[in-house]
Amino acid sequence: MCKLNILLFFHILLVTTIFTVNSSSYCEVREPKFNILYNFTKLTNVVEDIVINGEHANESIRIQLCSPLKGKCDGRDGYGICLGKDKKEIGIGKLPPKIVNKLGEILFTFTGDDCNVNAKYKVTIQMKCDYLAVNNTKPELSLSTEKPCNFNMVWKSIVACGPRVQQNCTVSDHGNHYDLSTLTKYSDNYVIRLGDKKPSVIILNICHSVIFQGGAMCQSKSGVCLRNFEDEYINLGDVQGTPILKNNELQIEYTEGAICKNKNIAATDIKTTISFVCDLNAMDTLPVYVKGNEECHYQLTWRTAAACSVESLRTHRLNKPTTCAVTNPVSNLTYDLQSLTNKDYYVMVLDNVQYKFRVCGPLMDKICNSGTGVCLVNNGTSMGKPNSNLMWKESGPYLNYTNGDLCSNGQRRYTIISFVCGNEVKLYTPVIMEEHPCWFMIHWQTNLVCEKRVKCITANNEIDLTPLMNETSNYVVKVNGSEFHINVCQPLAPISYLMCAHGSAACKATATTNNQFVNVTNLGFPKDRPVLNKDQQVELHYFDGSPCPEDSNKKISSNLTFFCDPNNKGQPEYKSYANCTYIFEWKTSITCGAVTGEWSSPCIIKDRLLSHECDLSLLYVEHEVHHVTSKQGKQYSLNLCGDKKYCTDSAICQGTNNYGSLATVIFDYNKDVIKLQYSNGSKCTNSSYTSEVRFICNETVGVGVPNLLWVST
Ligand SMILES: *[C@@H]1O[C@H](CO)[C@@H](O)[C@H](O)[C@H]1NC(C)=O
Ligand SMILES: *[C@@H]1O[C@H](CO)[C@@H](O)[C@H](O)[C@H]1NC(C)=O
Ligand SMILES: *[C@@H]1O[C@H](CO)[C@@H](O)[C@H](O)[C@H]1NC(C)=O
Ligand SMILES: *[C@@H]1O[C@H](CO)[C@@H](O)[C@H](O)[C@H]1NC(C)=O
Ligand SMILES: *[C@@H]1O[C@H](CO)[C@@H](O)[C@H](O)[C@H]1NC(C)=O
Ligand SMILES: *[C@@H]1O[C@H](CO)[C@@H](O)[C@H](O)[C@H]1NC(C)=O
Ligand SMILES: *[C@@H]1O[C@H](CO)[C@@H](O)[C@H](O)[C@H]1NC(C)=O
Ligand SMILES: *[C@@H]1O[C@H](CO)[C@@H](O)[C@H](O)[C@H]1NC(C)=O
Ligand SMILES: *[C@@H]1O[C@H](CO)[C@@H](O)[C@H](O)[C@H]1NC(C)=O
Ligand SMILES: *[C@@H]1O[C@H](CO)[C@@H](O)[C@H](O)[C@H]1NC(C)=O
Ligand SMILES: *[C@@H]1O[C@H](CO)[C@@H](O)[C@H](O)[C@H]1NC(C)=O
């Protein structure tokens, strides 16, 4: 057996060797017209097979063009291309391939195993020149070929390129520099028509000879050539010198083309002049044939930004409005909303009216006419055309989409999309802030426009007002028919029909009988974190509201002072107005901080400082024992108020482990929780089990049920 194995091994090696020698020669392909040798052997990967993605995610294709695959395909040798589908392999290309080499095109065609009863697999690889594809090139699969048994690929590489001529593409003049090299193509050419009626085309490249390929079989030094209706190629000029400036005009001259056959012309050979016209906004343009066909002097003109001086291009770029970005003129900070583009967003108003919009660009569907930025989905009314001209105002950047469909007032509909700095943790969706018959305003809180986010916690991190922040509604204080709308550390949530300044955190208005508001006054923007005053009370200040009526040099501001009141979260109260400042007070447990408490029988906890008392005995009345189960399936039992028989001297237990006896009671008013901490439970490795129960007040849940927060390991 042993010997047989060894023999077999040698046999395979022999066959492989012969095969390699045979096969490499077909990969040296000679182009017949200009006798260019393409040595595709260089595309062989001697280390491993080349792998490319197949059409589906579960498919991949292994390839060697000029030698057998290094690895077997479906356990067999002799393939150049192998399709892997999940765990299965199919030999879709056997060696050697058939090579078609004519009219400047080189195709490798492989035939493989049976695909179905009628056909075998077939792989066609088109070899294309790309002077920039130097190392480790791979073929690319052209997707969705119509026939299921056929695969088409394009392999771009420098190996498929012939000799070339290149020229320096820069020129300087009176301190101006010009660089046409951005126009140079390395795997393709510019093709333009010679006049409207003739089927002839002019093929050209810039500062580089024409790329030789199917349909562009120009001579190797030719920078421009003509293909006539009989598919003959006439050289219109070789790549010679650098661009020149002639009479203030940037030009390229390709000279020494084919012999001029017009006997009435003095010139002996054909030449071409390309004259460039600087246009800072001309991108992706093509040259145009002007005249000269008869005179053996072809003249082309090309309007392009590439022909502008490097200096003018730089200035132009600096002055161009940045798209979907704006700079705060005060702080010089730039906001870029590019990341919000290319997505659809929706806003809904009552009675199911839905608007759809995009940021800085048009919607892609056809509900509204194309080129619409905001669309009323219900009936396809355009509410404005998009632009990326982000504008600046105090509260944040905004877009004004104008020129929508005609409205009843004879004017075009428009939409304002306004961005304000949002809370760090929450993800906001856009909402409608104001709605008028012919225009409306979308309000969008986002982190992208936060210059200086207001932290809602005092600098010493002691008092955190975050629990008072309200995303969906504001605190409303009514005094003498006036209403104050207030939020904490953040802009007001949108209020129907109330047009408080966008981004302001407090606002005063008078409600009229028909649900409208008048005398709307901005009481300030949230610009600073809360501070502790000299009496150690928390204060919050809003600045830069509406102009102060008593002093036109000042703007209205608001001062909110928070007092500890353990009983509830509370409400702001209006106190006074003086010195262009509205003063509010707010009694709330949030600023009380944490206070220890004590336990008394049967089930009462009491705050030692404020004598705030909670009776927990309902926990026992409804269910003697409460249970929670961990993800691992362990069941924990809680018997906080009952006698300790259930858990043998403990309030919390799991199996035979008890999780300690009550050690501390903490009333944390700032976080709005009460904590019962248990310690000295049964032995756990080298220490003992401990536990903590947190109570969160919620008036809607009754006695509620315990949830397991976490279990330490
Ligand atoms: C083709 O390339 C291979 C590998 O680089 C080399 O061994 C071979 O000599 C080349 N053939 C010709 C004709 O230059
Ligand atoms: C591979 O994926 C395609 C689509 O993702 C699926 O249609 C095909 O059945 C899959 N092939 C196998 C063999 O699972
Ligand atoms: C082109 O010529 C200029 C001036 O002689 C030189 O500074 C530049 O490096 C050259 N560029 C190339 C690509 O050779
Ligand atoms: C903002 O930029 C302008 C122009 O560059 C400059 O004059 C101004 O001093 C800058 N302002 C700040 C606050 O940096
Ligand atoms: C579309 O609906 C809006 C709001 O309901 C209405 O104002 C507008 O007139 C409607 N437009 C058309 C063309 O029906
Ligand atoms: C938005 O554009 C409309 C239409 O041109 C104009 O009437 C309105 O004042 C603009 N609004 C803002 C805030 O720029
Ligand atoms: C409410 O009315 C009283 C008495 O007229 C007045 O002193 C007070 O300033 C008013 N408050 C507000 C907020 O206007
Ligand atoms: C409001 O607060 C600011 C900042 O602490 C303070 O300078 C100002 O005096 C206060 N205004 C009033 C009327 O209390
Ligand atoms: C912990 O429990 C053990 C036995 O249950 C007891 O002897 C010990 O005194 C307790 N320690 C504390 C600090 O309560
Ligand atoms: C108990 O074990 C932990 C981790 O294994 C170790 O860090 C700690 O020092 C130990 N404590 C005692 C009292 O041995
Ligand atoms: C109260 O509990 C309900 C139900 O679990 C929950 O939806 C709600 O957010 C809770 N309210 C507060 C203020 O935590």
Residue corresponding to tokens 């030692």: 608
Q: From the CB of 332, is ligand 4 less than 6 Å away?
A: yes
Residue 239 CA to chain centroid, in angstroms?
43
In this predicted structure, what is the pLDDT of residue 149? 87
Which of 143-147, 148-152, 202-206, 383-387 has the least mean pLDDT? 143-147
d(CA 244, CA 253): 8
In this predicted structure, what is the pLDDT of residue 135? 84
* pLDDT single digits (tens) 287-346: 999 988 888 999 999 999 899 988 888 777 666 655 788 887 766 778 889 889 888 999
pLDDT > 50? residue 16: no
More confident residue, 221 or 713: 221
Report which protein residue has its CA nearest ligand 2's atom 3. Answer: 56
Per-residue pLDDT band for 549 (boundaries 50, 70, 90) equals very high
In this predicted structure, what is the pLDDT of residue 163? 92
More confident residue, 592 or 2: 592
Report which protein residue has its CA nearest ligand 7's atom 13. Answer: 479
If one counts every other C-beta atom within 10 angstroms of the C-beta of residue 661, the result is 14
d(CA 95, CA 454): 69
Ligand 7 neighbours (beta carbon < 6 A): 479-480, 482, 574
d(CA 694, CA 206): 75
Residue 607's contacts (CB-CB under 8 Å, 6 or more residues apart) are 566, 595, 597, 613, 667
Ligand 3 neighbours (beta carbon < 6 A): 168, 170
d(CA 246, CA 276): 11
- Minimum-distance ligand to the CA of 687? 10
Q: Which range, 121-135, 418-432, 620-634, 665-679, is most confident?
A: 121-135
Ligand 11 neighbours (beta carbon < 6 A): 698, 700-701
pTM of the complete model = 0.45
- In this structure, are residues 274 and 300 in contact, taking their beta carbons and an 8 Å threshold? yes
Report which protein residue has its CA nearest ligand 4's atom 10. Answer: 332
In this predicted structure, what is the pLDDT of residue 558? 97
Atom of ligand 10 nearest to the CA of 687: 1
In this predicted structure, what is the pLDDT of residue 142? 78
Per-residue pLDDT band for 2 (boundaries 50, 70, 90) equals very low
In this predicted structure, what is the pLDDT of residue 191? 93
- In this structure, are residues 211 and 184 in contact, taking their beta carbons and an 8 Å threshold? no
Q: Is the bond preceding residue 602 a cis peptide, omega within 30 degrees?
A: yes
* pLDDT single digits (tens) 421-452: 766 555 677 888 778 889 999 988 887 887 66
d(CA 600, CA 608): 12
- The mean pLDDT value for 594-598 works out to 83
DSSP character string of 488-532: SSSPPPPBTTB-PPTT-SEEEEEE-TTS-EEEEEE--EE-S--EE
Considering the chain, what is the average pLDDT of its residues? 85
